[in-house]
Amino acid sequence: MGEIAEKNKNLESIKDKIKRLKKRVSKDNKGSSKVQKKPAVAAQANKDEKIIDTYEYLSNEMPISIKIFKKKGEFVPLYEVSISSITKNTEFILEKIRQELIREVNLGMVDIIDPKRSGKVEEKFRETIEVLIEKYFPDADKKTTGFLVTYLIQKSLGMGNVEILNNDGQLEEIAINSSDEPVWVYHRKHGWLKTNIIVSDEEQTKHYSTMIGRKVGRQITMLEPLMDANLTSGDRVNATLMPISNRGNTITLRKFASKAWTITDFVRLGTIDIGAATLIWEAIQFELSALVAGGTATGKTSMLNVLANFFPPNQRILSIEDTREIRLPTFLHWVPMLTRQPNPEGKGEVSMLDLLVNSLRMRPDRIIVGEIRRKREAEVLFEAIHTGHSVYATVHANDTEETITRLTGPPIEIPQNMLPAISMLIVQHRNRRTGVRRTFQISEIMDDGNPNVLMQMDLQRDKMKTTAKSKSLMRTLELFTGITKNELKRHLVEKEKVLKWLIKNNINTVNEVGTAMAQYYTNKDDLMKTVNANKKLGDLK
């Protein structure tokens, strides 16, 4: 009887708190997702702050406000997150209620450890919260109810405020270094920023890592303190435990881009010169193989996506990646394949080499490979080219010369006389000072395996320059297609018109650009009429 009385007392306590919360949330939500304006006194107090950027977005059903600013005494800009509809006092009360709810809801009814059943925990928790909110907030509208449910579930079963960061489409990377410092983020526009979000303790970070691993069938323990996992969303997570990372447990989350890059984006942003883009298009159209080189975070995979924009609709395409990053138009004949890491017993691994060897038995016309790392992978890749497949892959190297050295030296060690199978080298570059990404060089591989740099970016003037005439690429096109030099020039002019039309009409999604390319290959006369008349893509019959 005493236990029941105590339980009833707890429920009454929750009821009282929710009634107080109802009044406060109702007051806070007037104006809903508007950012709360600070009084003039607060503005005066922040005179040491210089605001760089502000914007808003929705994290599930929660309106989030972001302020990026420089502060006196801080060496990097700060990224401040605020939930627009919740004051500090309301957040405090919600946290108290969340703790009461966790004690009341029997999470033991489901085996949380089982990844196949863990989704039922969230489902049951959601149902319980919805019942409580409906009971104690009878006049709450659907938006407020959804907002409170989302907030409480995210706090109780998710990664809390870290999930708010994950929903910001402007972020590329989220990094938890330890509980002693704020979470860091890498912003597309502003680079590394320090947030106002802090993980409570090292156990919390470990809990997040365990929860992520469980969702994808992996584990992180003191015996296995490193975890590299690919989420179903496409995001990539790396986690480490102390004492391997001796300042604290870490999580590094690389976000999957919400929108794939297209040639329209690259030309508009100045990442690639339109003349260089037309040359690449011509080579891709006629099935010449290409290698994309560059350092870390220079945009190699983004360039692979751009190359894939030029694929015709009547060919079979296979992509082989560690993490799903390539995205092609939905109407293409495309088979995406992913590698798989071994389980804790060291079994079940499917390597890039396994998939590359297997792909040759699937009758592909074109093969996209995420990255060449080892000798055997490179050998199979070059074998694929020599047996009539067009191959597109990435490799870590900073320029054309370094790419040749990387391919011919250890550990890859491809004989130099095999290199001419790669018709084109495209080198990506990121300016370490400004963070700007550019296509740095476009080169051809000559018959003796030496490179010939055709175009190179002048980084001071931010302009692509022609540095040499083609000795191999154009000759290969003429030899294997039967077209003349004049026809090639006409093709390049034609392609440049199409690219300018794509930019002018803001045709920049994978499916839209893919549709335009499909029209070019199958209905070119009508497409060029549309381009010359500057009509919309939808005007094509």
Residue 81: domain span: 2-254
Q: In CATH, what number is assigned to the domain containing residue 156?
A: 3.30.450.380
Based on the fold, state whether residues 451 and 394 are members of the same structural domain. yes
Mean pLDDT check: name the lowest of 122-136, 338-352, 448-462, 480-494. Answer: 122-136
Mean pLDDT check: name the lowest of 137-141, 337-341, 477-481. Answer: 137-141
Q: What percent of the chain has pLDDT above 70?
A: 78
Q: Mean of the pLDDT values across residues 487-510?
A: 94
* Contact status, residue 285 vs residue 520, Cβ threshold 8 Å: no
Q: Is residue 528 part of a domain?
A: no
Based on the fold, state whether residues 325 and 217 are members of the same structural domain. no
Based on the fold, state whether residues 196 and 151 are members of the same structural domain. yes
Tell me which of 425, 454, 478 is where a domain ends. 478
For residue 321, the model assigns a pLDDT of 87
Q: What would the two tokens of residue 386 be?
A: 């020599």
Tell me which of 204, 223, 254 is where a domain ends. 254
Based on the fold, state whether residues 309 and 455 are members of the same structural domain. yes
* Contact status, residue 298 vs residue 399, Cβ threshold 8 Å: no
Q: Is the model more confident about 420 or about 346?
A: 420
Q: Mean of the pLDDT values across residues 343-357?
A: 85
* Stated pTM of the model: 0.74
pLDDT digits (tens, 9 = 90+) for 6-30: 544 544 555 555 455 445 544 444 4
For residue 537, the model assigns a pLDDT of 81
Q: Mean of the pLDDT values across residues 255-260?
A: 79
pLDDT digits (tens, 9 = 90+) for 33-51: 333 334 433 444 467 889 9
Based on the fold, state whether residues 248 and 268 are members of the same structural domain. no
Q: What percent of the chain has pLDDT above 90?
A: 49
Degrees to nearest 5, angle at CA 252 with 251 and 257: 140
pLDDT at 408 over 90: yes
pLDDT digits (tens, 9 = 90+) for 64-90: 899 999 998 899 999 999 875 566 666
Based on the fold, state whether residues 143 and 39 are members of the same structural domain. yes
Tell me which of 221, 254, 287 is where a domain ends. 254
Q: Is residue 488 part of a domain?
A: no
Q: Mean of the pLDDT values across residues 145-157?
A: 68
Based on the fold, state whether residues 185 and 317 are members of the same structural domain. no
Based on the fold, state whether residues 233 and 294 are members of the same structural domain. no
pLDDT at 111 over 70: no
Q: Is residue 314 part of a domain?
A: yes
Based on the fold, state whether residues 140 and 281 are members of the same structural domain. no
Distance CA 373, CA 28 (A): 55
Q: Is residue 130 part of a domain?
A: yes
Q: Is residue 218 part of a domain?
A: yes
How many domains are there within the chain?
2
**Nearest Cα residue to 497 out of 473, 519, 529:** 529
Based on the fold, state whether residues 296 and 250 are members of the same structural domain. no
Q: Is residue 536 part of a domain?
A: no
Q: Mean of the pLDDT values across residues 257-267?
A: 89
Based on the fold, state whether residues 138 and 271 are members of the same structural domain. no
Q: Residue 55: CB partners within 8 Å, gap ≥ 6?
A: 65, 66, 170
For residue 133, the model assigns a pLDDT of 66
Based on the fold, state whether residues 286 and 137 are members of the same structural domain. no
Mean pLDDT of the chain: 83
